[in-house]
Amino acid sequence: MPDKAQKETTASIAPAETKVLTMPGVQLRVSLGKDVVIRVPGADHSYRGRIVGFDPYDYLIASVRLPGRIRRQLALGGQMIVKYIHQGTIYGFRTTAYNTVTSPTSLVFFAYPSVIEKVELRRDTRTECNIDGALQAENGEYECLIVNISATGCKVSVRARARDPIARLKVGDTLVAIVNLGTEGTLKLPIVVRNIQREQGLHTIGAMFLDLNEAEEERIGNYLKRMRRLTRQPTGPAT
């Protein structure tokens, strides 16, 4: 029976709730400074970075901080899953690492993809909730309340002053949401902002999960089943 890493390497980059369009790698839209999320099959966490160099159709370079164990795995030609946002849509591909370096900064070199996947998310039924959480941005961490959640995204409420960096979020920005699911434990999930409503210092953010592994999908699914079993939930599209 294949282990977790093997299954993740051969599976689609998208969760089961999504429709995926396969495209040739020459259609990759990449630019310097592009935010990316990197996952190594079998690892429990994904890592945020940005593209700092590339040679079209040959290789790409990402600046990303990785644990020593992950760096050593990639330095031996390990497999990676890379995801990014372009014009509000998730794209991703599987690739092979060429090398990693730590000086003068942490970089990973990897192959230009032959195939990329465009993820078209289904509008899932939302489940209303009041979950304590936090948003991690490059400039700090902010307490928040998750007010609804689905298999593919969530809506988050956070209070911020006009001078707080979090108040300058825009559609397409990426963050990490820390979500406390009670008996299912606490998850740290990369999200991308899809819409924002601002009113008197209260920021309501509609977000889409950018990367979930199999265990995270299962734990969110278990939480949703429990909530729907124990409460009478209104239904509607997730935002």
Give the N- to C-terminal CA distance of the chain in Å, as an integer. 38
Q: Which residue ranges does the chain devote to CATH 2.30.110.10?
A: 16-121
Compute the C-alpha angle 8/5/193, nearest 5°: 45
The pLDDT tens digits for 69-103 are 898 889 888 999 998 887 767 889 999 999 999 98
Q: Which of 3-12, 39-48, 197-206 has the lowest mean pLDDT?
A: 3-12
The three-state secondary structure class of 91 is strand
Q: Please provide the CATH number assigned to the domain covering 16-121.
A: 2.30.110.10
Query: What CATH number labels 127-230?
Result: 2.40.10.220
Average pLDDT along the chain: 84
User: Residue 121: beta bridge partners?
Assistant: 18
Residue 234 has a pLDDT of 53
Q: Tell me how far CA of residue 130 lies from CA of 102, 187, 201, 224, 227, in angstroms.
A: 41, 15, 19, 13, 11
For the stretch 181-194, pLDDT in tens is 989 999 998 888 88
CB 225 within 8 A of CB 219: no
Long-range contacts of residues 21-27, Cβ cutoff 8 Å, at least 24 apart:
21/117, 21/118, 21/120, 22/115, 22/116, 22/117, 22/118, 23/115, 23/116, 23/117, 23/118, 24/114, 24/115, 24/116, 25/57, 25/93, 25/112, 25/113, 25/114, 25/115, 25/116, 26/57, 27/116
CATH 2.40.10.220 domain range(s) in the chain: 127-230
**Which residue in the block uniquely carries the two structure tokens 């730590």?**
102
What per-residue confidence (pLDDT) applies to 61?
97
pLDDT recorded at residue 1: 39
The H helix count followed by the E strand count for the chain is 3, 14
Going by pLDDT thresholds of 50, 70 and 90, the confidence category of residue 111 is very high
Confidence of residue 12 (pLDDT cuts 50, 70, 90): low
Mean pLDDT for the stretch of residues 63-71: 91
Q: Which of 153, 189, 159, 58 is nearest to 113 (CA)?
A: 58
